[in-house]
Amino acid sequence: MAGNKKYVAYVSSYTSGLGSKYGIRIYDVDLKKGRLTEKQKVEITNSSYIGIAHNKKTLYSITDEGVEAYHIEKDGSLKFLNEASINGMRGCYVNMDQNDNYLITAGYHDGKVTILKLNKDGSIGEITDERYHKGLGTAAGRNHVPHVQCIKVSKDNQYLLAADLGMDRVNVYKLDLESGKIKEVDVIHCDQESSPRHMQFSKDGKFLYVCLEQKCAIDVYEYVDNNGDPDFNKIQSVSCSDESDSLGVASSALTFSEDYNYLVSSTAGENNVIVFKVDKATGLLTKLIQLPVAGEYPKDAALFPDNKHLVSLNHESDSLTFFTVDMKAGTIVMNGPELPIPRPNCIVFHELEA
């Protein structure tokens, strides 16, 4: 499958106070060895999250000033297009609708969802809608005040889902593709103190996977759209921790393999990576691997496109660690030395044009 294909990987990281001005690094991917080699560094402040458009032509990144757009060149290098304000505090997540007409950001600090128009060349236009999540606001701490942590648009392009880690819920909005405006139509209530952090839709869009940071689990929902009435029915909940008490452990990453056959999550505190096999027909998950990543706070982890190697982004130990994966045996084995990088946040693989 991934044999003759060539890939680059983009890794985003924080820069403030770290003596670095390069928030995005671009790596050549060696599929045979399961390693990355740095080829370019991009100056950008505090790239907390990056995403690639569905047409594979543009990369978008959160930055202190708002959002930035980069054209992806044929060799995978990045060319700056423009930046735009999101009219709020620094965002933590970025996503696009299925047709790359809108860019959506999540605001952890101010509990805000912001939608911006995208131009034909991939550059970012004006804000079309913005929505502050409302919360109790009385309890101290991060709980019970809105923290929008993740945004996903359903595969049928009908709904925008906003995971609110502070309010333990996922707000479901109808997305008007003409105006770029949203209207709340449903709420998925997660367990109290579970803190929904990341979400992924299955390839066919029929299943939603919600990673719960504090509960250290993944909830699986079956999704059906009944003529404008979205229905999310929970069909499974799998634990990502062996600890009976999840205090001090936290689920962080949630990424599909390129072929959608596997779902990868990571657990801070235990500093483990978990690989699940995905049953595409039923949406259900089966745990295959749960092993240490040789780093502190694996904020993101991903399988290489060949499913034979894995990389962990260790936020607190400023490193990338690499592993050879054997799905049948259920093992991951360290693969070469770690790669230093300050405060890495997320990784995205990108297939180069032949």
Whether residue 261 contacts residue 278, with contact meaning beta carbons closer than 8 Å, is answered with: yes
Q: Cα–Cα distance between 160 and 146 in angstroms, integer?
A: 17
* Mean pLDDT of all residues in 29-49: 96
255 class by beta-carbon count within 10 Å (0-12 exposed, 13-18 middle, 19+ buried): buried
Model pLDDT, residue 321 = 97
* 95-116 per-position pLDDT tens digit: 999 999 999 999 999 999 999 9
* 299-343 per-position pLDDT tens digit: 999 999 999 999 999 999 999 999 999 999 999 999 999 999 999
The residue type of 106 is A
The residue type of 175 is L
More confident residue, 124 or 244: 124
* 134-186 per-position pLDDT tens digit: 876 445 455 578 999 999 999 999 999 999 999 999 999 999 999 999 999 99
* Mean pLDDT of all residues in 92-97: 97
Computed over every residue of the chain, the mean pLDDT equals 94
Model pLDDT, residue 226 = 93
More confident residue, 132 or 269: 132
* Mean pLDDT of all residues in 247-259: 90
Tokens of 56: 């594979």
Q: Cα–Cα distance between 42 and 72 in angstroms, integer?
A: 12
* 72-84 per-position pLDDT tens digit: 999 999 999 999 9
Model pLDDT, residue 138 = 46
Model pLDDT, residue 178 = 97
User: CA-CA-CA-CA torsion for 58, 160, 195, 186, nearest 10 degrees?
Assistant: 180
State what percent of residues in the chain have pLDDT above 70. 95
Is residue 47 pLDDT above 50, yes or no?
A: yes
Q: Residue 4 — very low, low, confident or very high, per pLDDT cuts 50/70/90?
A: confident
Model pLDDT, residue 28 = 98
Q: Cα–Cα distance between 148 and 115 in angstroms, integer?
A: 13
Q: Residue 246 — very low, low, confident or very high, per pLDDT cuts 50/70/90?
A: low
* Mean pLDDT of all residues in 53-76: 97
Model pLDDT, residue 141 = 53
Model pLDDT, residue 41 = 96
Residues 331-349, buried b or exposed e (16+ Cβ, 10 A)? ebeebeebbebbbbbbbbb
Q: How many CB atoms lie within 10 A of CB 19?
A: 7
Model pLDDT, residue 43 = 96
Strand partners, 274: 265, 290
Model pLDDT, residue 134 = 87
